[in-house]
Amino acid sequence: MSPGVSVAAGLKTGDVHHNKEDFMADSFKIDFQPHGAVETGDLVVFVGEDLKPSDAVARQIGPEAVDLIAKAAAAETFKGKAKSSMSIVVPAGLSVDRLIVIGLGGEKDRAGLDFVQLGGLVAGKANGKVATVALDLPGVEITPDAVADIALGAQLRRYSFDRYKTKKDDNGPDAGRLVLSVSDPAAVKKIYKAREGLQQGVVLARDLVNEPPNVLGPEEFAARAQALTKLGVEVEILDDKAMRKLGMQALLGVAQGSVRGGRVAIMRWNGGKPGDSPISFIGKGVVFDSGGISIKPGAGMEDMKGDMAGAACVVGLMHALASRKAKANVVGAIGLVENMPDGNAQRPGDIVTTMSGQTIEIINTDAEGRLVLADVLWYVQDRFKPKFMIDLATLTGAILVALAQEYAGLFSNDDELAERLTAAGKATGERVWRMPLGPEFDKMIESKFADMKNSAGRFGGSSTAAALLQRFVNDVPWAHLDIAGTAMGSPATEINKGWSSGWGVRLLDRLVRDHYEA
């Protein structure tokens, strides 16, 4: 359909209606209370490989229950290994329904304990009406920060995208609640507030990726970014006309095959010193990638609704940073388009002039993400002179060939930024692996007819894509994260049972927290 043809009245694309409040999935109910007696529901305790809970918990449940754990463990061949668990139903001598025993493993496991994952494990096991979790662990120090991470993990574990199911998920956020018993509830509550913003940011990113593409076109996506104004984020939306004026013809070339116009959303959180140059995050937001005229095969094409995961991550991150009032000046910018075949669609052979003035020959209309990012990256460095730019994009299938779904590909012109991202990846479990850039790859994108071409074939496919992006960053410290493998359909973990992972929100929140807040 060409843009001149209007959509039949009453059948506007994306015209499924939601209330504002419906946009955000419910949170799972978590309370904090001081250590003490537990009367009803489930009780969760932790043991090492010696099958013993901490001294305080042993005193609380009494010697009989401690003995019962050892006996049940023998019967169940439960050895207290990390990530293992057993539950004892109506345990004699205790008033609770179930005693859930979670293993912490040996010394090494405990030293490297990931509290977010642990929280996920707990929320997966404690699926009754109410579960009290005795957060006093043998051989592990539990700081208020650790408790907040456990609560975050529990929340993410209970995430469920069932908006379009008439029968709701029975282990979702509405199923029961958790009571975390801790030594200092007041201190924990304060820190948890900030983690709650992060949790909502991850949930927001997941929701955006899970939403069907008929509901979430570029315009609707931009409206979700606009909703961040209620957190104090300044949001500007560029429509086709504004982009034409700026000369963003690479982005517009992709958008022109769709009846739904493109958008760029610019989000600004100014929590740092006035006048300090911002840090910036840029996201690929292809709301649906059919491949365009170089159309993709049918099998699995529905997954290409998730080709906006980079943009979703940036929106989720801005939500997290604004919610916790991060002391940093941050720009988020996302390029939103739909890549469709159409009589008006861009063709292989077309040459587009980017906002930077450089020209690109289109070899393959399915290599569209780099075209979108070329203009948004240029725009951000030109307008904001940022300290750095980090872009996230479900950019290439080749990154899945190289790194499976375990690591995101990291490409950077700046070693310090690359090292910081790698460290944040280790700390959060959202890991990145550095991949090469360089003149060899840059040479591969030379074109017979234009300054460069948008596809150089299969060899080094992720690096040649990154090489094109690099031509639009103008010496600003920059990192590109290829998240085609990690953002969606990745293997289930204790904190992610769904299709979209919300990958990158925790990673980048951590990066900002560790290095860029005054």
Nearer to ligand BES, 137 or 445 (CB): 445
366 near ligand BES, rule: CB under 6 A:
yes
Q: Give the span between the Cα atoms of 58 and 503, in whole angstroms.
A: 38
Sign of the Cα torsion 271, 277, 279, 282 reads positive
Nearest CA-CA partner of 291 in 262, 261, 257: 257
Nearest alpha carbon to residue 93 among 72, 66, 71, 64: 64
Question: What distance in Å separates the CA atoms of residue 61 and residue 53, rounded to the nearest whole number?
Answer: 10
482 binds Mn ion (CB under 5 A): no
Show the DSSP H helices in 350-414 as ranges. Answer: 369-384, 398-403
Catalytic residue among 110, 370, 420, 510: 370
Residue 488, both tokens:
């969606």
The distance of closest approach from Cβ of residue 297 to ligand BES in the complex, given in angstroms and rounded to an integer, is 11
Choices 127-135, 150-158, 366-374, 428-436 (CB under 5 A): range interacting with Zn ion: 366-374
Residue 60 or 455: the one with the smaller Cβ distance to ligand BES is 455
Give CA separation, 57 vs 103, 283, 459, in Å: 14, 47, 58
Please identify which residue in 366, 391, 430, 509 interacts with Mn ion, judged by CB under 5 A: 366
Confirm whether 163 is a catalytic residue: no
Q: Which stretch binds ligand BES (CB under 6 A): 106-114, 134-142, 261-269, 390-398?
A: 390-398
Q: Which stretch binds Zn ion (CB under 5 A): 104-112, 245-253, 269-277, 364-372?
A: 364-372
Catalytic residue status for 125: no
Q: Of the candidates 207, 307, 361, 509, which one interacts with Zn ion according to CB under 5 A?
A: 307
Element (H, E) at 239: none
Query: Residues in contact with Mn ion, total (CB under 5 A)?
Result: 3
The contact pattern for Mn ion, residues 368-407, with x = CB under 5 A and - = no contact, is: x---------------------------------------
Q: How many CB atoms lie within 10 A of CB 18?
A: 11
Q: Which residues contact 279 (CB under 8 A, 6 or more apart)?
A: 328, 329, 330, 331, 386, 387, 388, 390, 512, 516
| C-alpha–C-alpha distance, residues 351 and 359, integer Å | 7
Told to check if 338 binds Mn ion by CB under 5 A, we report: no
8 A C-beta contact, residue 376 and residue 334:
yes
DSSP state of 194: H
Distance CA 322, CA 308 (A): 21
**Which of the choices Mn ion, Zn ion, ligand BES, none does residue 398 contact, using the CB cut-off of 5 to 8 A by kind?**
ligand BES
Q: Is 103 in the site for Zn ion (CB under 5 A)?
A: no
Query: Pick from 348, 337, 360: which is nearest to 454 by CA?
Result: 360
Binding residue for ligand BES, selected from 455, 496, 500, 501, defined by CB under 6 A: 455
Q: Decide if residue 289 touches Zn ion (CB under 5 A).
A: yes
Determine the interface stretch with Zn ion among 55-63, 288-296, 384-392, 406-414 (rule: CB under 5 A): 288-296
Residue 420 host element (H or E): helix 415-428
- Look-up of token digits 């507030």: 193
What's the token pair of residue 302? 């529905």
484 binds, among Mn ion, ligand BES, Zn ion, none (CB under 5 to 8 A by kind): ligand BES
State which of positions 259-298 bind Mn ion (CB under 5 A): 289
Contact with ligand BES (CB under 6 A) among 144, 173, 332, 369:
369
Name which of Mn ion, ligand BES, Zn ion, none residue 396 binds, using a CB cut-off of 5 to 8 Å depending on partner kind. ligand BES
Q: Which stretch binds Mn ion (CB under 5 A): 52-60, 186-194, 363-371, 373-381?
A: 363-371
Give every CB contact of residue 17 below 8 A, 6+ residues apart in sequence. Answer: none
Return residues touching ligand BES (CB under 6 A): 289, 307, 364, 366-369, 394, 396-398, 455, 461, 484
Q: Which residues are catalytic?
A: 296, 370
Return residues touching Mn ion (CB under 5 A): 289, 366, 368
Return residues touching Zn ion (CB under 5 A): 286, 289, 307, 369
